[in-house]
Structure 1
Amino acid sequence: MSTADACAVGCRFCFRADVGRDVLSIEQYAHALSRLHELGIDEVCLSGGEPTDHPDFRQFVRVALQFGFRCAVVTAAREGKRLSALAGVAGMLSHVTVSADSQEAERLGHTGRTIASTTAVFDALGHTRASLHVTAYELGDEDLADIRAVVTAAGVGLEVSPLLPSRTFRFDNPNLAHDLDLIENSLGMSPELRAVVDQYHQWMADPPHRDCESERLYLSADGYLRRCPYDTERQVSVDASRQEISEAVQRMLTEPPHTDIACLAICRPSSAEEAANPVDHDAGNADQAYRQEEPVR
């Protein structure tokens, strides 16, 4: 769920679909949760922009729990009001993904989201239902040292998203081979990440014809449900009737759009393991680099 279109960071490598001034209202949010609950969905992930900036952030979490949803958050909070807002609901959250960038990614995007500064965030959470997500661009030894220090001290999981070059998003990464080698040799490359890399090279060489395999929905900040952030042709307003929403969602699932290289940049199909242990993540936050659904560890 996108809580707001606006983002104070505005990374150069951001793949967010919606950029504007819309802010999700508590009324639209509650209406959406009511309809989604009826459709059997049981987990939401609050994203942004920065979800802790939303004036109703705490209420968003509480309302989700009242409807019986597990509630996750993707955040770049570090200090001040953002960290206080996050700490105030930490015990209610099923999972927290804390966004960070390698030194060169931080320089490229002017993000201010250093790896080392996440220590205070994990301390404030008071639990380990969390993960450090690092956008990797020209990884270095200092990045690796910071990653190991944070993950070891906090006892949380690690997700790494090397920036994939994309013709669609007009982004190039001449350091991709270097980053992948360093991840492989220093952190270990998961089957999920290896699959992404293999698919990426396949797409670049000879894009296959494939339908969307996502099992998620996306709620935009202006109150529209979509199959994914970019599938605006099939969206339906949360203010529509129950029947209209149900029929629209059914069409999204039975008549999926075709995928292309842009889809690979933002989304991963749900895995069997994730279905058993679901942890949702945002589509399109600046740090979400190229995956919506399956965190690339």
Structure 2
Amino acid sequence: MSAENVPEPSASAHPPFRTALISTAGHCAVACGFCFRTDRAHGFLDVATFTRALSRLKEIGVASICLTGGEPTHHSDLRQLVRLAHQFGMPVSVVTSARTSAEVTRLGEIAHLLTNVTVSADSVNAMRIGRTTRSVSSGVSVLLGIETPVKVLHLTYWQVTADECREIHQLLSDTDIDIQLSPVTLDEKACDREGLSLYDYVQQQRSDAELLGGYVLLSPRFQEHLVALRAMQLYPERQHACRSAALYVSAGGELRRCPYSRSGVAVHAARTDIGRFLAHGTQDWTTPDCAAICRADP
């Protein structure tokens, strides 16, 4: 079914929004080759916009926030952002790719103020495809060097090997680090570059999960996610409307249902306009790109 012939999602009841992802910058120095971020732009989230966003999110019923990238440690007022959120009674977590000395130092300075720090890492072949240097060993090193209640290594993986899985298991053994997993999401062009058919791609995802499952406990929720992901890839005509329980605020101050939403409303808009936007039925379908955002455990 072509995009033009896909019907609009129906306006069905939506669960309460429990948390929000807030982008601290419209750009990212990592620039992963497999990233499908839709709101790339220059500039950082300004404090006034962040404060207004917190006020509106609090009114909506959001209880916690997660600061995402760009790269949060590049924001000059990062500590102030965290303190402001605390003033609104909101716990704060951070997702980061911090690796340089300056980034890790800045992360360490606020880590004790956070409920959760997630450090992104890529498997060897994910680094190749994404043209990144976010190795698992460097990510573990960052997490071991900070003090925060919950430490998470988020591994984006592709074509893993038994030796690699064994090394990951050894790196995480006897640490207080949890692991989250996300298979690389490739679009049609990326599959062509890798010389893969759709079914080859889906089979590789299945093989990777089976191999990782021998070294990492795959939760029922993550396994359900993989099944749903394969269904979306093989049967795009069976898409369902977005059911994300997390809102998203861009670095420019636009409130959306998720980073991949086609529509949004400015946090500086009137309360009635924001309320109307949230009350209106979603205009978005769940896609393989955004599905990973809606689940957070391995």
Q: Answer whether TM exceeds 0.5 for this pair.
A: yes
Q: What's the CA shift string for 1:29-78, capped at 9, x where partnerless?
A: 01100111122111111001111111111111111111110101000112
Q: 2:285 aligns with which of 256, 259, 270?
A: 259
1:293 match: 294
Q: 2:46 aligns with which of 13, 21, 25?
A: 25
Q: Map 1:165-184; keep pairs closer than 5 Å.
A: 165-167=186-188, 170-172=189-191, 174=201, 175-184=204-213
Q: 1:71 aligns with which of 92, 100, 112?
A: 92
Once residues 265 and 40 of structure 2 are traced to their aligned partners in structure 1, the CA distance between those partners, rounded to angstroms, is 19
2:135 match: 114
Q: CA deviation at 1:165?
A: 3.8
1:42 match: 63
Once residues 60 and 200 of structure 1 are traced to their aligned partners in structure 2, the CA distance between those partners, rounded to angstroms, is 34
2:15 match: none
- Flag the 1:78–1:142 CA change in 2: closer, same or farther, 3 A: farther
1:272 match: none
Q: CA deviation at 1:221?
A: 0.9
2:159 match: 138
Q: Percent identity?
A: 33
1:282 match: none
Task: Give structure 2 stretches of 5+ with no counterpart.
Answer: 1-21
Q: CA deviation at 1:296?
A: 4.2
| Corresponding pairs, count | 266
SS in 1 for 2:44: coil
Are the aligned partners of 2:262 and 2:284 in contact in 1 as well (CA < 8 Å)? Answer: no
- Flag the 1:29–1:76 CA change in 2: closer, same or farther, 3 A: same
Task: Tell me the amino acid that sits aligned with residue 223 of structure 1.
Answer: G
Task: Tell me the amino acid that sits aligned with residue 201 of structure 1.
Answer: R
Q: CA deviation at 1:21?
A: 0.8
Once residues 239 and 99 of structure 2 are traced to their aligned partners in structure 1, the CA distance between those partners, rounded to angstroms, is 42
* TM-score (structure 1 length as normaliser): 0.83
Once residues 194 and 147 of structure 1 are traced to their aligned partners in structure 2, the CA distance between those partners, rounded to angstroms, is 20
Q: Map 1:45-124; keep pairs closer than 5 Å.
A: 45-124=66-145
Are the aligned partners of 1:209 and 1:258 in contact in 2 as well (CA < 8 Å)? Answer: no
Once residues 37 and 208 of structure 1 are traced to their aligned partners in structure 2, the CA distance between those partners, rounded to angstroms, is 35
Task: Tell me the amino acid that sits aligned with residue 55 of structure 1.
Answer: S
Task: Tell me the amino acid that sits aligned with residue 285 of structure 2.
Answer: T
Q: CA deviation at 1:209?
A: 4.5
Q: Map 1:209-228; keep pairs closer than 5 Å.
A: 209-228=239-258
Q: What's the CA shift string for 1:169-224, capped at 9, x where partnerless?
A: x4336432331221233324322222122223322333325221112111011110
Task: Tell me the amino acid that sits aligned with residue 238 of structure 1.
Answer: V
SS in 2 for 1:29: helix
Q: 2:227 aligns with which of 198, 205, 211?
A: 198
Task: Give structure 1 stretches of 5+ with no counterpart.
Answer: 268-290
Task: Tell me the amino acid that sits aligned with residue 49 of structure 1.
Answer: G
Once residues 204 and 119 of structure 1 are traced to their aligned partners in structure 2, the CA distance between those partners, rounded to angstroms, is 32
Task: Tell me the amino acid that sits aligned with residue 293 of structure 1.
Answer: C
Q: CA deviation at 1:105?
A: 1.2
Are the aligned partners of 1:133 and 1:158 in contact in 2 as well (CA < 8 Å)? Answer: yes
Instruction: Provide the aligned C-alpha RMSD in A.
Output: 1.9
Task: Tell me the amino acid that sits aligned with residue 264 of structure 1.
Answer: P
